[in-house]
C-alpha cells in the first residue's frame, strides 16, 4: 500500500519481495509459518543439543500457491482479520487463496481457495496448485499413520534432545490432501476448497483440533471463528494513533506481528514457550538465532504486552518459571548460587547459545527477567503468581545469584561485578557495566520489597548490596561511562547506557539524562539493531524535545521492509527478520514515550510495595 492510500491496517502488493525472508508470517501461540514456505514450526519443539538447538522444521502442506501464468495478481496482509491472501484475476473469473493460523483452535492452520465466476459462461474453470510439500523433515523421525477423516497422518519425535537424556518432543500432524488441480464445474458460480493442517504434541489433540476444524468448515464458519478470535485480541489491545500514514502503518504492522505471537485470551491452560526475536515462524538451524529466547522478550516486548494483554504477560513469566531449574544449573556450573538465566533459552532453561562468550558474560539477562516480574507485580498486584505459582522462588534465586556474582572492592568500598559483556556487544570482559550493575541493583531492591509484601524473611545483604554496588559515573562530565575504563567516543553497538533512564528509571538528573543521550547517540552503530533508536526517542521525549525524538524514531523506518512491514534487525538487511525486538522498541515509544506513561512502584507507609496509579510524566 502506498503512503496515504487506503486502510493503514491492510498491506497490499502486486508483487512479492525478492527476498523470501521478507514474506509475511501467519502465526498463533503454537504454530507459525512464512507464507508460501514448505516448513512450519511448533512452539517448544526444538531439536539439537546445546549450541545446536534450533526450532525443528515441520513439513508444511500449507506452502501451496496458485499458478497464474500471465494473470494479474495481488497479495494482501490484513492485520484486522489476521489473514494473508493471494488473488489471481483472469478473464471471466477470480481465484483467491487465504492463509491463517487459527486463533481459537491454536493447533490448527488453514488455507482456502475460492474460485468465483464473473461472467455468464458455463465452461469448467481450472486452477493449478503448486506445492513443494514432502512429508519429511531433517529434524524429525517421522512415520505414517492411518488416515483420519480424510486427512493424512504422520507422527514422530525430534532427532536429538536439548540436553543429554532429556525429552525429545513429539509431533503429530494431520492434513487435508492437496490436489494438483481445482476445477469449478460448468454449472457452478463459486466454490471454496478448505485445506486444514493440525499439529499437536499428541495424537488425541491433533485429531480433536482437526475434527473441530472440519466441523466449522462444514458449517461455513471456520474463517469467521478465526476472525472473531483475532478481532477480540485486537480490540483488547487497541492502540489508536494520529500521525503520518507511514507511522500508522508501522503501528498496525507491529501490533499484528507481536499479537500473533501471544496466547489467546480464552485458553489459559495452554503452556506458552516464549517469544524469540524472529518469532515462531522463523528459527530453523542457522537463521534468526535458531528460535532461541533472549532478553528481547523480557526487556523489549514484555512492557507492551503487559499493558495490552496482562494474561499473555503472565504466560511469559510462567515460561521463565518453568525453566528455573535449568537456570539454577547454569549458575552452579559457573560456580555461583541462585539462578543464572541463559542468554539464549529454548525449552529447558539451559544455555543454548552457540558461542560460549555470550552465555558466560552477558549476565544482565537475569536482571532483565526479574525486571519483567517487577513490572508485572507493580501493575497487577497478582500475589498468586508469587505465592503459589513459583514466582517468589525465581525472584529469590536471581537475588542469590547477584549476591554471589559480586565482589567487594576494598579500594572503592563498593561491590563490583567483573568480567561481563554489557548490552553493547562490541565490548566484553569488562568490569562494572553500568547497565548490568544497575539492573542487578533493581533486582535486589525488588526482591527485598517483595519479601516484605509476602511477609517472608529476606537477607539484609540484598538491600545492603543494592546500596553499595558500583554504577560507574563520571563526576566531571556528568554522565555514566558504559563500564570501568570506557573512553568517550568509543563505538557502541546498540542501546546500553541509555536504558538506565528508561526502562530502568535509574535515579539521575535531567542534566545527566541529557548527557548520556548526547554522549552515546553519535557513537552508536548507525546500522545496529533496530530497537536501539526507540530508546533514544523515549529519552528525548522525557526531556521535552519532540523533534530530536522524532529524528531518532525515523531511523527505525529504515528497518521496515515493504510491502508487508516485516522488520529486519539491522538497517543493512542482516540479522533476524520479522524482528519482533525492534517492533517492541517501536511500540514502547508509542505507549510510553509519546504518552509519558510509566508503571511505578511506590512504598506505602507500612513498607509494602503497591502498584501506583499510572503516571504521566
Active site residues: 425
Cβ neighbors of 446 (< 8 A, separation 6 or more) are 370, 371, 373, 374, 377, 395, 609
Q: 578 and 282 in contact (C-beta within 8 Å)? A: yes
Cα distances from 338 to residues 109, 184, 357, in angstroms, run 41, 65, 20
Residue 616: Cβ-neighbour burial (10 angstroms; 0-12, 13-18, 19+) = exposed
Sole residue written with cell 563490583: 416
Cα–Cα distance, 561 to 581 (Å, whole number): 15
Q: How far apart are CA 601 and CA 616, in angstroms?
A: 14
Handedness of CA 298, 303, 306, 312 (dihedral sign): negative
| Residue 243 φ/ψ region, left for φ over 0, alpha for ψ in the -120 to 50 degree band, beta for the rest | left
Rounded to whole angstroms, how far apart are CA atoms 57 and 234?
Answer: 29
Q: What angle do CA 172, 178, 179 make, to 5 degrees?
A: 155
For residues 35 and 100, the answer to whether their CB atoms sit within 8 Å is no
Distance CA 282, CA 276 (A): 9
Distance separating alpha carbons of residues 511 and 517, to the nearest angstrom: 10
Q: Which three cell numbers stand for residue 394?
A: 525465581
Question: How many Å apart are CA 307 and CA 309, to the nearest integer?
Answer: 6
Please give the Cα distance from 250 to 1 (Å, whole number). 12
- 75, containing H or E segment: strand 72-78
User: What is the DSSP-derived secondary structure letter of residue 8?
Assistant: T
Q: What is the Cα–Cα distance from 473 to 471, expressed in whole angstroms?
A: 6
Q: What is the 3-state secondary structure (H, E, C) of 483-527?
A: CCCCCCCCCECCCCHHHHCCCCCCCCCHHHHHHHHHHHCCCECCC
Amino acid at each position: 500500500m502506498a503512503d496515504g492510500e487506503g486502510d493503514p491496517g491492510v498491506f497490499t502488493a502486486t508483487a512479492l519481495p525478492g527476498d523470501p525472508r521478507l514474506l509475511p508470517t501467519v502465526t498463533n501461540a503454537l504454530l507459525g509459518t512464512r507464507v508460501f514456505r514448505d516448513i512450519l514450526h511448533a512452539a517448544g519443539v526444538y531439536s539439537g543439543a546445546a549450541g545446536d538447538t534450533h526450532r525443528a522444521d515441520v513439513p508444511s502442506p500449507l506452502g501451496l500457491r496458485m499458478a497464474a501464468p500471465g494473470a494479474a495478481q495481488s497479495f494482501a496482509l490484513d492485520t484486522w482479520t489476521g489473514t494473508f491472501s493471494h488473488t489471481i484475476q483472469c478473464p471471466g473469473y477470480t481465484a483467491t487463496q487465504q492463509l491463517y493460523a487459527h486463533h481459537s483452535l491454536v493447533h490448527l492452520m488453514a488455507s482456502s481457495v475460492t474460485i468465483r465466476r464473473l461472467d455468464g459462461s458455463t465452461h469448467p474453470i481450472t486452477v493449478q496448485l503448486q506445492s513443494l510439500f514432502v512429508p519429511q523433515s531433517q529434524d524429525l523421525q517421522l512415520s505414517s499413520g492411518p488416515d483420519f477423516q480424510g486427512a493424512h497422518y504422520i507422527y514422530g519425535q525430534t532427532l536429538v534432545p536439548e540436553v543429554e537424556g532429556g525429552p525429545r518432543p513429539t509431533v503429530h500432524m494431520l492434513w487435508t490432501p492437496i490436489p494438483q488441480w481445482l476445477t469449478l464445474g460448468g454449472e457452478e458460480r463459486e466454490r471454496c476448497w478448505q485445506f486444514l493442517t493440525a499439529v499437536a504434541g499428541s495424537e488425541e489433540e491433533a485429531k480433536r483440533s482437526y475434527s473441530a476444524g472440519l466441523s466449522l468448515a462444514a458449517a461455513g464458519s471456520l474463517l469467521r471463528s478465526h476472525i472473531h478470535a483475532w478481532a477480540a485480541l485486537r480490540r483488547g489491545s487497541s492502540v489508536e494513533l494520529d500521525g503520518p500514514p507511514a507511522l500508522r502503518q508501522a503501528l498496525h504492522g507491529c501490533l499484528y506481528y507481536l499479537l500473533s505471537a501471544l496466547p489467546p485470551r480464552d485458553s489459559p491452560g495452554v503452556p506458552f514457550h516464549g517469544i524469540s526475536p524472529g518469532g515462531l515462524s522463523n528459527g530453523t538451524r542457522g537463521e534468526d538465532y535458531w528460535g532461541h529466547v533472549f532478553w528481547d522478550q523480557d526487556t523489549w516486548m514484555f512492557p507492551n504486552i503487559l499493558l495490552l494483554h496482562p494474561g499473555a504477560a503472565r504466560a511469559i513469566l510462567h515460561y521463565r518459571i518453568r525453566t528455573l531449574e535449568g537456570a539454577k544449573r547454569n549458575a552452579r556450573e559457573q560456580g555461583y548460587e541462585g539462578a543464572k538465566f541463559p542468554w539464549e533459552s529454548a525449552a529447558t532453561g539451559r544455555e543454548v547459545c552457540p558461542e560460549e562468550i555470550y552465555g558466560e558474560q552477558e549476565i544482565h539477562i537475569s536482571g532483565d527477567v526479574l525486571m519483567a516480574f517487577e513490572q508485572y507485580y507493580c501493575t497487577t498486584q497478582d500475589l498468586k503468581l508469587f505465592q503459589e505459582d513459583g514466582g517468589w522462588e525465581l525472584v529469590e534465586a536471581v537475588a542469590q545469584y547477584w549476591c554471589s556474582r559480586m565482589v567487594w572492592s576494598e579500594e572503592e568500598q563498593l561491590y563490583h561485578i567483573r568480567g561481563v559483556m554489557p548490552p553493547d556487544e562490541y565490548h566484553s570482559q569488562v568490569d562494572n557495566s553500568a547497565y548490568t550493575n544497575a539492573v542487578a541493583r533493581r533486582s535486589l531492591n525488588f526482591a527485598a520489597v517483595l519479601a516484605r509484601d509476602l511477609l517472608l524473611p529476606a537477607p539484609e545483604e540484598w538491600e545492603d548490596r543494592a546500596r553499595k554496588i558500583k554504577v560507574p559515573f563520571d563526576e566531571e562530565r556528568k554522565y555514566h561511562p558504559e563500564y570501568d575504563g570506557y573512553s568517550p567516543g568509543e563505538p557502541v553497538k546498540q542501546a546500553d547506557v541509555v536504558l538506565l533512564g528508561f526502562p530502568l528509571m535509574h535515579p539521575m538528573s535531567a542534566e545527566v539524562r541529557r548527557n548520556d543521550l548526547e554522549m552515546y547517540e553519535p557513537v552508536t552503530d548507525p546500522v545496529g539493531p533496530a530497537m536501539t533508536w526507540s530508546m533514544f526517542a523515549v529519552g528525548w521525549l522525557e526531556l521535552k524535545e519532540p523533534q530530536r525524538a522524532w529524528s531518532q524514531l525515523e531511523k527505525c523506518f529504515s528497518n521496515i521492509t515493504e510491502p508487508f512491514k516485516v522488520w529486519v534487525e539491522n538497517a543493512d538487511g542482516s540479522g533476524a527478520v520479522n524482528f519482533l525486538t525492534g517492533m517492541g522498541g517501536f511500540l514502547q515509544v508509542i505507549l510510553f514515550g509519546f504518552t509519558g506513561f510509566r508503571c511505578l512502584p511506590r512504598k506505602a507507609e507500612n513498607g509494602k510495595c503497591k502498584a501506583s496509579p499510572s503516571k504521566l510524566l
